[in-house]
Structure 1
Amino acid sequence: MDTPQDADEIDLFELMSSLWKQKIIIIFFVVLSVLTATAYAFLSKPIYEARIFIQPPTLNGIADFNYGRTRDAELTPFAVKDVYEVFVHNLLSESLRRTFFVEVYLPSLPESKRAGSRDALYSDYLSELTIGLPAKDQPDRYLVSVQSRDPAQATDWVKAYVARAGEAAESEMLKNVAREAEVRARNLAQQISTLQETADKVREDSVTQLREALKVAQAIHLTEPPIISGNVSAEVSATMNGQLTYMRGTKALEAEIKNLEERKSNDPFIDSLRALQIKQSFYKDLQVSPDRVSVYLIDGTVEQPDRPIKPKKGLIIALGVIFGVGLGLLVALIRHFVLIRKTTETSNQRFK
């Protein structure tokens, strides 16, 4: 008679024989699972993915941003990295994702779906729009992809999203350039104003000095400069300033005073003024055309996908086979152990 230990032991050959006898059940579950998986694979709507690879702009693309920006002008030129960082910041910004969600994604949904949870819809949207690095060895190259049941829609959306990021980056760069040019023009205007005010003070001082010299010349009745022959004449003429200004004579002094008082502008007599005014005018009118700059480059062409990425029919059917085999074996094993248990209970009742 078998001991309890023998009864609890599993006979491998008996188990295999039992499973073989139940092969119809196993095959049934395999066929059912494969049919279900096949139906799902072929009846599910396909999902298409459109992708854009993005890389930094060229030096030629950012050249107009640096128009008039030199170290001599106290404006550091922009590097490609500086411009591209502005674009990447806008590309990854939550504000752009939200704007695109509200203005593009939501209007594309049917009214019944739009009435659902906004958070759930936004979560679905984020799963369909992805931005990342395609390769770790290229940290400045980004991949933007959009998934949709409509391949044309996926292509349009991925183009529109990248274009919006580019427009936002260009607008930010243009504002930065305009603001810095405005500040530079204001600084130059301040320098010009200071020079003009200084020139006015210098003219007033010159008139005062000439009036005092005129009083001295009138006091000694010196109408014209004294005539001195030889080298001494040149030396004296060269020093007719300061304390010797009166030696020019009353006629010359009166003429100089009248000329200074009637002068309408001191600008022609200010050194470097014209150069500053030219610089001010340049920065004041500085404008960069958006059509002549670029903040990113698209690597390759953006084509409409013609092969869906989901569902993966072969994988789904293979998983259906595996699931069917596993489920069939599980049912067969349960039936096998149930039959053994019933047989054991029946035998025990007979011996009692």
Structure 2
Amino acid sequence: MRDQPQQPSNNNNEIDLVELLRSLFQQKYLILAVASLVTLMAAAYAFLATPYYQVQSVLRPVDQGSLDELNGTGVYELTPAEALSRGAAGLSSYESRLKFFRDHQELFTGLVEPGRSLDQVFEEFNRSAFTMLQADPKKPNSLSESVGISLTYPQGVDGVAVVNGLVAYVLEAERDRIATDLKVLIANRLFGLEQKIEAARASYEASKQAQIATLLEQDALRRAQLQDELQALRTELKTRRESRIKRLDEAAQIAESLGIQNPTTPSAMADAQRKGQVVRTEVNSREIPLYFMGVEALRAERQALSERRSDDFSEPRVAEIEKELALLSRNRQVEILEQRHNEDLYLKDLAEWRQEAAQLKGIKFDTAGLQLVRVDQLALDPLTAVKPKKALIIGLGGVAGLILGVLVVLLRNLLRPKAEAIDSDEK
């Protein structure tokens, strides 16, 4: 008798699957009602939520020939890969996007909200809307490499104009930057050439002055040497003259003692002495002694030598020295160097530098027509919104509604036995 009350409780705790399915079927309208309500709410969200669209633009490298004119200047060098990289850097630059936003605020009127600054609006939009499209890094680097930019924007924003305008804005900014860089490089090269020319002029002037100083120094040295030689030569001539006078005095004494008044020779003197007594004279030298000139001749030569004021005429070398000194009084090479007016003609490499400067000044490259990248894909008006995805949201709403309806029915089945037991106890 005691075990009988426990048997019904075990049966009550067991879940009868058939009974459960029957209960769900019996309350199918409740499940369908809940599912319909949730589906209706999902559909309302799908159709009432602000739609978002997505557009993109893809850039690819240009041919090498498109940059040939720029590279042909010899000042600026840019490869297609570098040009594409610069375009990608400009598109991903926060500063470039912000400048475009500020310069084209009419394209973003749908984003402006009261109480928010333009920078705040752009910050939020830039963080969630723009996406850079990069080439697959696993693929080898080639001319097929591409970069792009994608924009996800809400209704009310002209996304096509934003993307295409941003691409054109960035490329125009890069062209302006290249034009500025080109001008700076040309100006720096011209300034460097001017510095080279000025340095060459200063070097030439210094070398010319050094050459003039060297020539004048050589002339001064040679003049001093010649003057020393002339002075020494005149001293030697004076010494010779004084020596000659002494020899003439000595010879005159001998001639007077021998009675030789007029010039004679040893043979003539021997013949004259044979008439009287014989005097034997032995001459060992080939040169006839001076005293044979006679006293009168010796004294006449001595007087002439004593009265001489200059001995220069007696030595040909003196005339040569005076000639050289006269030539050294003016250095024609120094005069020619000092009379040069257009000294640039004598500068080394000046013609080459001026040719290079003329070529640099002749560069008239217009970057307005420079094609940095090839726009492989322009942004076009999208056909459908990327979000919200209406079919997916409605489908998920229907599934969620069915699940929620089943849960409601199960909850009612769990709560109903308890309610019935309470009612029975009260009775």
TM-score, normalization: structure 2?
0.63
In structure 2, the residue matched to 1:339 is: 416
CA 1:206/1:60 → structure 2, altered by over 3 Å: closer, same or farther? same
Unaligned runs of 5+ in 2: 227-322
Partner of 2:130: 129
- The runs of 5 or more residues in structure 1 that have no matched partner are 70-74, 221-245
For the structure 1 residues 203 and 296, does the alpha-carbon distance in structure 2 shift closer, same or farther, using more than 3 Å as the test? same
Distance 1:281 1:121, change over 3 A: closer
**1:104–1:328 distance in 2 versus 1, CA, 3 Å:** farther
Deviates more, 1:336-345 or 1:208-217: 208-217
| Matched position secondary structure for 1:49 | strand
Which residue number corresponds to residue 55 of structure 1? 60
What is the identity, as a one-letter code, of the residue corresponding to 2:78?
Answer: F
User: Residue 54 of structure 1 aligns to a residue in which SS?
Assistant: strand
**Aligned residues of 2:175 and 2:368 also touching (Cα < 8 A):** no
Return the offset for 1:189. 2.2
CA RMSD of aligned residues (A): 3.7
Q: For residues 386 and 11 of structure 2, what CA distance do their matches in structure 1 show? A: 54
Secondary structure, aligned partner of 1:60: helix
Amino acid at match of 1:60: G
1:281-296 → structure 2 map (5 Å cutoff): 281-283=358-360, 286=363, 288-296=365-373
Structure 1 residue 43, shift from structure 2 partner: 4.5
The residue matched to 1:53 in structure 2 has which SS?
Answer: strand
Aligned-partner Cα distance in 2 for 1:214–1:57: 71
> Are the structure 2 counterparts of residues 35 and 150 from structure 1 closer, same or farther at C-alpha, using a change threshold of 3 Å?
closer
Q: How does 1:71-150 map onto structure 2 within 5 Å?
A: 77-104=77-104, 108-109=108-109, 113-116=113-116, 119=120, 122-133=123-134, 135=136, 137=138, 140-149=145-154
Q: What is the deviation of 1:293?
A: 2.2
Structure 1 residue 346: Cα displacement = 5.1
> Is residue 59–residue 376 contact of structure 2 (8 Å, CA) maintained in 1?
yes
How far, CA to CA, are the matches of 1:46 and 1:78 in structure 2? 43
Q: Bigger radius of gyration, 1 or 2? A: 2
Match of 2:24 among 19, 24, 31: 19
Give 1:190 shift. Answer: 2.2
- Counterpart of 1:300? 377
Partner Cα separation in structure 2 for residue 119 and residue 112 of structure 1: 10
TM-score under structure 1 normalisation? 0.74
Q: Is the contact made by 2:88 and 2:148 (CA closer than 8 Å) also made in structure 1?
A: no
User: Within 2, Cα distance between the matches of 1:49 and 1:105?
Assistant: 20
The alignment covers a number of residue pairs equal to 320
**AA aligned opposite 2:400:** F
Q: Give the secondary-structure state (helix, strand or coil) at the position aligned to 1:26.
A: helix
Conserved in 2, the CA contact under 8 Å of 1:90 and 1:96?
Answer: yes
CA distance in 2: counterparts of 1:277 and 1:310, whole angstroms: 66
Whole-Å separation in 1 of the counterparts to 2:84 and 2:128: 26
1:30 aligns with 2:26: no
Identity across aligned pairs (percent)? 22
Counterparts in 2 of 1:111 and 1:43: CA distance versus 1, 3 Å: closer
Tell me: CA distance 1:259–1:20, structure 2 relative to 1, closer, same or farther (3 Å).
same
